[in-house]
Structure 1
Amino acid sequence: MKETRRRGRPPLGQELKAGTIVEKATFTFAEFGYEGTSLRLIAERADVDVAYVGRLYGSKLGLWKATIDGVAEELVDRLRNLPEPDVEDALPQAIAVLCNHLCDRPELAMFMLNEFADRDERFEYAFEKIGAMMRGLFVARIRVAQARGKAPAGDPDFLFYAFASAMAMTAATRPYLARFTETARKDDSYRAELHRTLSSILLR
């Protein structure tokens, strides 16, 4: 990476542009994958000069990492008010919040699906920032629910990754699912059915 971002927050104008760039990068990486995406394409979508993107992030990898950081921060913000694992409905609440978030931001599901499919340096970074956090949050709640007879028996990690994989794949492929079922064509019915189906993996 030839250039790194300066420490601290950028000036207000730059910060607003940086937010737009990261948002457009999330959609573009989700649509084309890492290899199929260029800084120039992201710059065009964000309506900024590609040299400006280079100055802010140094390289495509630098912008990709900023995108992962943004996804992680967004997830933390949505999940920060969840009750502790030993609260009665801690697991159902976690499922509901995550389902709603991916219904609101389906591009995040495709983005994460792309990145967790590869086993390279980017996978390690994505897992450290997102995967490990999500695993810790859900596995602790699955264990408590199992002890209370409210989650299926089995390895909590297996259950979590089965849930996470089903969640990401279903959210990312809604347009294809909509070819076969009207439930996926309407936001309310899709959201309700996604929540019901995913809950059936982790809850009794």
Structure 2
Amino acid sequence: MIDDKRGQERGRGRPRRGEGHDRKGLLEVALACFADSGFENTSLRTIATRARVDVALISYHYGSKLGLWTEVVASVGEESRARLAGFLSECEGRGDRERIAHVSARIVDMMSEKPQFARLMVAEMIGAEDEARSEVIETRLVRPMLALLLPLLGEEGRDSNEQAPDGALRLIASFVMGGLVISTRPFLSRLTPVASDEVRLQAVVSMLMTRLLSA
């Protein structure tokens, strides 16, 4: 009888330490919710309902909505950095332009796999009203990616008096451009036939990114 009572109390309280949960599945649902409705208009209860988990489990593992949002960004950031390192190793020994074209194409492929994340990040950067979320994007996503990709552009050999934008600006501009186009493809297809063909659109975005990064 005592054991039953303890079990009932535990069921009403926080999840047991170490209780398993589908982290990847939960983060994917959270990403979709944040991308569809924005941070402010998304509740943990909505995420829990769509993920088919108890909201207490989310609070236990991530602490708050910001904690869960941070984990979404950090998770995609870690995966992206690992893949970017792979893209760079794939084109070692090639010429600068060829390397930039290869990495640009692979980045566009990566964006196309997660258009919701691209849409979320573009919206956050445009709004840029919440200091905590902006800092997460800067430290957990953008700066680590810049550190990986800046050597690709050969900035150390560029004359500081040249009029071309620096590498960081070109990289950020290419990310924003690519993310915006990829994440708004359904709307763009109403305006241009290129957007109706996903493969063709990716090729065009890759070409534009290559030109921007090679400037």
The TM-score bracket by the shorter chain reads 0.7 to 0.9
Per-residue deviation, residues 85-139 of structure 1 (Å, max 9, x unmatched): 9842432222122111011211110121123231411101111011101222222
Q: Are 2:141 and 1:136 equivalent residues in the alignment?
A: no
2: distance between equivalents of 1:185 and 1:67? 29
Q: Is the 8 A contact 2:109 2:202 kept in 1?
A: yes
C-alpha spacing 1:158/1:129, structure 2 compared with 1 (3 Å): same
2: distance between equivalents of 1:82 and 1:144? 19
1: distance between equivalents of 2:201 and 2:156? 26
Q: Are 2:82 and 1:90 equivalent residues in the alignment?
A: no
| Cross-structure match for 1:81 | 86
Q: 1:109 aligns with which of 99, 107, 118?
A: 118
**TM-fit CA distance, 1:37:** 0.8
**TM-fit CA distance, 1:82:** 3.0
| Cross-structure match for 2:4 | none
C-alpha spacing 1:53/1:184, structure 2 compared with 1 (3 Å): same
1: distance between equivalents of 2:156 and 2:206? 18
SS class of match (1:34): coil
Aligned residues: 190
**TM-fit CA distance, 1:146:** 7.0
| Cross-structure match for 1:40 | 45
Q: Is the 8 A contact 1:82 1:90 kept in 2?
A: no
Q: Name the TM-score, length of structure 1 as normaliser.
A: 0.82
Any runs of at least 4 consecutive aligned residues in structure 1 with deviations exceeding 4 A, and if so which?
A: 84-87, 144-147
Q: Are 2:180 and 1:175 equivalent residues in the alignment?
A: no
C-alpha spacing 1:140/1:52, structure 2 compared with 1 (3 Å): same
Identity of aligned residues (%): 28
Q: Name the TM-score, length of structure 2 as normaliser.
A: 0.78
Q: 2:77 aligns with which of 58, 72, 92?
A: 72
Structure 1 unaligned runs (5+)? none
C-alpha spacing 1:90/1:137, structure 2 compared with 1 (3 Å): farther
Q: 1:166 aligns with which of 162, 168, 177?
A: 177
Larger Rg: 2
Q: Is the 8 A contact 2:155 2:167 kept in 1?
A: no
2: distance between equivalents of 1:201 and 1:145? 18
C-alpha spacing 1:191/1:183, structure 2 compared with 1 (3 Å): same
Q: Is the 8 A contact 2:81 2:145 kept in 1?
A: no
